[in-house]
Amino acid sequence: MKKIIKPEKKEWSEILKRPTQSFESIEETVISIFSDIKRNGDDGVLRYSSIFDGVELTNFFVSKEEITAAENMISDDLKEAIKIAKQHIEKFHIAQKTSKVVVETVEGVVCWQEKRPIQKVGLYIPGGTAPLFSSVLMLAVPAKIAGCKEIILATPPTKKGKINPAILYAANLCGITKILKVGGIQAIASLTFGTETIPQVYKIFGPGNQYVTAAKQLATKYGVAIDMPAGPSELLVVADETANASFVASDLLSQAEHGIDSQVILVSTSKTKLEAIENEIEKQILNLSRKKIAEKAIENSKLIYLETKETALELINEYGPEHFIICTNDNDFYIDGVQNAGSVFIGNYTPESAGDYASGTNHTLPTNGYSKAYSGVNLDSFLKAITFQKISKKGIQNIGNTIELMAEAEGLDAHKNAVTLRLNSLK
């Protein structure tokens, strides 16, 4: 990791750059595949599945037999762990339900808001170097709680056309039966346009690599909504002299092992602790099964020393991390002051991996600085808020003149007339 001591503010934008390709650099590939699948449907999906995943598919969807067989292919211990995680995620997301909001703004004018589920959603589950069955829980659980009518799960298959059994088990546990054996750009394109056999959806959820992220962004140009631009994983840890160096190093490596384009950053107000954490990283990385991936990610990562917590907080908000761990003797300072973060983890005994799996919060979070404007996935992500209003005779008399004056000032005579006719009928 590159060590940076007391960087000046004018250097921050360069120091905090993500190791990601720009959308423009991969746009041509994504647009080409989208155009092909829009034009050729299933044939296009089959062709790109062959090119990118090396698989010759005969059926896009997982069969009931495959789902049943998956249950016998994973251990009872793992099944129990998945069930426990699901319970915690359900508990946290059910608590996010809100009741109808009703307000009488003036006598006779009643306004209210109700939420309705998005009817058709697509859930993208990465399945490359690490098949993320945990993401099935993070997306399927709130989709089911929200009441989405049609849920399509898409995930890349192996070269033999198989899906990781833990992904199938988690999906079935959540009541998801439409499981698509398609990954990457072609999965996002097929859900965007629909094909002869793959349904079109209204909104696409889920993390992915830079190509999947770019594909999701392109989908919005065709009228399909997305949860957020969720690309390669990232973590920022702020630590002072009270932090446990071993714990912090393990957290940094837990994100580094996601992929070679992941990024981790340590911000510390203690030079001694910064060096201790650096030493721990060098020791712990030797024992990782994904050592080569973690080493590549570490090359993109930074150790930053800043003298004061105030400066540290300012830099953190400028970066806007996906995951933010606080290990200091004044955690409340950072809790109260953080403005831009996807999810926050507090204290030496709160590893980021808890949020990835089983604490209950959602791990589908905004990356690449998008936490400055986007929330992570939550129950509301799967709902739409619809407003209603009902105006009585007394109500139109109370607000009618206000509407007439405003409509006239904007030069919209028909708007004014729609009110004037009603008011005149009551004279």
Q: Which of 284, 276, 395, 376 is nearest to 321 (CA)?
A: 376
Average pLDDT over every residue of 395-415: 98
pLDDT at position 300: 84
pLDDT reported for residue 278? 96
Domains along the chain with CATH numbers: 2-20+232-360 (3.40.50.1980), 23-229 (3.40.50.1980), 392-425 (1.20.5.1300)
Whether the CB-CB separation of 348 and 377 falls below 8 Å is answered with: no
3-state secondary structure of 106: strand
Q: By mean pLDDT, which of 15-19, 132-136, 216-220, 321-325 is the weakest?
A: 15-19
Say what the pLDDT of residue 382 is: 98
Rounded to an integer, what is the distance from CA 195 to the centroid of its chain? Answer: 25
Q: Greater confidence, 270 or 131?
A: 270
330 contacts 286 by C-beta, under 8 angstroms: no
Confidence check: pLDDT of 360 > 90: yes
Q: Say if residue 415 carries a ligand binding annotation.
A: yes
Q: For 150, phi and psi rounded to 5 degrees?
A: -125, 120
Q: What is the pLDDT of residues 85-111, one digit of tens each?
A: 999 999 999 999 999 999 999 999 999
pLDDT for the residue 128: 67
The percent of residues in the chain predicted with pLDDT above 90, rounded, is 91
Sheet containing 2-5: order of strands: 2-5, 302-305, 263-268, 234-239, 323-327, 343-346
How far apart (Å, rounded) are the C-alpha atoms in residues 331 and 274? 18
pLDDT at 427: 86
Find out whether 259 and 21 touch, Cβ atoms under 8 Å: no
Residue 259 has pLDDT above 90, yes or no: no
124 is in an annotated binding site: yes
Q: Which of 179-183, 228-232, 400-404 has the lowest mean pLDDT?
A: 228-232
Instruction: Note the pLDDT tens digit of each residue in 105-161.
Output: 999 999 999 999 999 999 999 986 678 899 999 999 999 999 999 999 999 999 999
Is the model's pLDDT at 411 over the cut of 70?
A: yes
Task: Retrieve residue 164's tokens.
Answer: 């990781």
Least confident of 124-128, 242-246, 292-296, 310-314: 124-128
Residue 267 φ then ψ, to 5° = -115, 125
What percent of the chain shows pLDDT beyond 70? 99
Flag whether 307 is marked binding: no
Residue 23: predicted pLDDT: 66
Q: Which two tokens stand for residue 374?
A: 């986007």
53 is in an annotated binding site: no
What is the per-residue pLDDT for 103? 98
Residue 267 has pLDDT above 80, yes or no: yes
Residue 287 has pLDDT above 90, yes or no: yes
CB atoms within 10 A of CB 343: 21
User: How, if at all, do strands 263-268 and 150-154 pair?
Assistant: unpaired
What pLDDT is attached to residue 22?
64
Evaluate if residue 20 carries a pLDDT over 80. no
Confidence at residue 21, expressed as pLDDT on a 0 to 100 scale: 62
Long-range pairs, 11-18, Cβ under 8 A, ≥24: 12/315, 12/318, 13/318, 15/302, 15/304, 16/265, 16/315, 16/318, 16/319, 18/232, 18/234, 18/263, 18/367, 18/368, 18/369
Catalytic residues: 322-323
Q: Which of 237, 234, 260, 251 is nearest to 322 (CA)?
A: 234
pTM of the model: 0.94
* Mean pLDDT rounded to a whole number for the chain: 95
What three-state secondary structure class fits 178? strand
Residue 18 has pLDDT above 90, yes or no: no
Ligand-binding site membership of 209 (annotated): yes
